[in-house]
Amino acid sequence: MIVDFPLPELGKEVPKATIIAWHKKVGDQVSAKDVLLEVMSEKVNVEVESGIDGKLVEILHQADAEVEPGAILARFEKTGA
């Protein structure tokens, strides 16, 4: 099953963030606790865990892209129940 991976909320006063770097690439197997990417906002830099066990099949926004919380960043082929 393909599932979307949105940018989580980073705080009430964080309307957007910039992707600093992806720590995984398309085709990688990822566990829920793996750090998937790092983002920065005006107030904080955050390492974002995948929260999903599966295979990264698509990255929709590359490094340096500015995105809003809730924006779909990537897609996974989910494994497990």
Domain map (residue ranges) of the chain: 2-78
The pLDDT value given to residue 60? 98
Residues in the chain: 81
CB 49 within 8 A of CB 33: yes
pLDDT in tens, 32-65: 999 999 999 887 889 999 999 999 999 999 999 9
Overall fold of domain 2-78: OB fold (Dihydrolipoamide Acetyltransferase, E2P) (2.40.50)
Q: Which residues contact 29 (CB under 8 A, 6 or more apart)?
A: 54, 55
Confidence (pLDDT) at 42: 84
How far apart, in Å, do the first and last CA atoms of the chain sit?
Answer: 10
